[in-house]
């Protein structure tokens, strides 16, 4: 019997409080990620930012079969050569450097990669793209801070995004105020939201499975996106 694929989930780096401890910097991963990975028949492994793995990511990637670039705070605009907009906050350069290194090397290895929200933005930056730091119609994507909004997304027929989701028109859980500006090298756009044709999905057609979704599929335990990643990783295990 083949072993379950191992999916690495990048952890956020945030201030947190629990029990008697307040405002302590912690590695955080919403439980929805690991639950969805387990539901998909894979083993979830949380990945904290690590300088050694940033410098030499292969040692860490060698124990994984797929990589999830999770949601979280804005990226440091310096990572894509920009000055911070007034709405760009809470970025952690340590996390950015670690995840950019992992993402770039995972792509080089043709490892299955799924970028979610911030993770889609990081995927674009890892490929040389830039971000729009404050979408003009961000109210569609973040109606209330801390609460997911819902809106439709149109996916390109035959795209990896459409195959992963199982349909071309999906209702999504959304919470972001930034988006794609200049598209990174090797990436194509495969999903859009109205109004304004905001980019909702990107992918790399010359790789086995490299997909970015600006929405949060992990907030829906029935979403097929994590299952699609696990299936791609399972093929890596079987190879």
Q: Give one DSSP letter per residue of 122-143, joined into a string.
A: HHHHHTT--EESS-TTGGGT-S
Contact predicate 235/220, CB 8 Å = no
* CB-CB contact of 66 with 42 (8 Å): yes
Q: Write out the two tokens for 30.
A: 């919403």
177 among known catalytic residues: no
Residue 17 vs residues 9, 22, 71, 89, 124: alpha-carbon distances, Å: 21, 4, 20, 20, 32
Looking at 175, 176, 177, 216, which residue is catalytic?
Answer: 216
Rounded CA-CA distance 116/164 in Å is: 13
CA atoms within 13 A on the CB side of 3: 10
Distance of CA 4 to the CA centre of its chain: 22
Q: Which of 117, 127, 200, 203 is catalytic?
A: 117
d(CA 231, CA 225): 10
What is the CA angle 134-32-12, rounded to 5? 50
Which of 99, 200, 203, 218 is flagged as catalytic?
218
Q: Is 117 a catalytic residue?
A: yes
Q: What is the token pair recorded at 195?
A: 């109004």
216 catalytically annotated: yes
Just list the catalytic residues.
Answer: 117, 216, 218
């Amino acid at each position: 019997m083949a072993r379950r694929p191992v999916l690495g989930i990048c952890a956020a780096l945030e201030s947190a409080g629990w029990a008697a401890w307040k405002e302590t910097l912690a590695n955080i991963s919403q439980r929805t990620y690991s639950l969805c990975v387990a539901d998909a028949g894979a083993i979830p492994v949380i990945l904290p930012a690590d300088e050694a793995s940033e410098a030499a990511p292969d040692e860490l990637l060698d124990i994984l079969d797929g990589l999830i670039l999770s949601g979280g705070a804005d990226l440091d605009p310096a990572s894509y050569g920009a000055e911070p907009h007034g709405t760009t906050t809470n970025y952690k350069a340590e996390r950015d450097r670690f995840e950019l290194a992992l993402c770039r090397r995972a792509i080089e290895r043709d490892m299955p990669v799924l970028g979610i929200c911030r993770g889609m933005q990081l995927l674009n930056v890892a490929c040389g793209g830039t971000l729009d730091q404050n979408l003009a119609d961000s109210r569609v994507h973040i109606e209330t801070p801390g609460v997911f909004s819902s809106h439709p997304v149109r996916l390109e027929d035959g795209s990896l995004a459409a195959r992963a989701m199982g349909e071309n028109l999906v209702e999504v859980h959304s919470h972001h105020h930034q988006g794609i500006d200049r598209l990174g090298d090797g990436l194509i756009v495969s999903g859009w939201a109205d109004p304004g044709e905001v980019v909702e999905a990107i992918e790399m057609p010359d790789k086995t499975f490299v997909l970015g979704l600006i929405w949060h599929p992990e907030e829906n335990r029935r979403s097929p996106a994590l299952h699609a990643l696990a299936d791609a990783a399972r093929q890596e295990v079987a190879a």
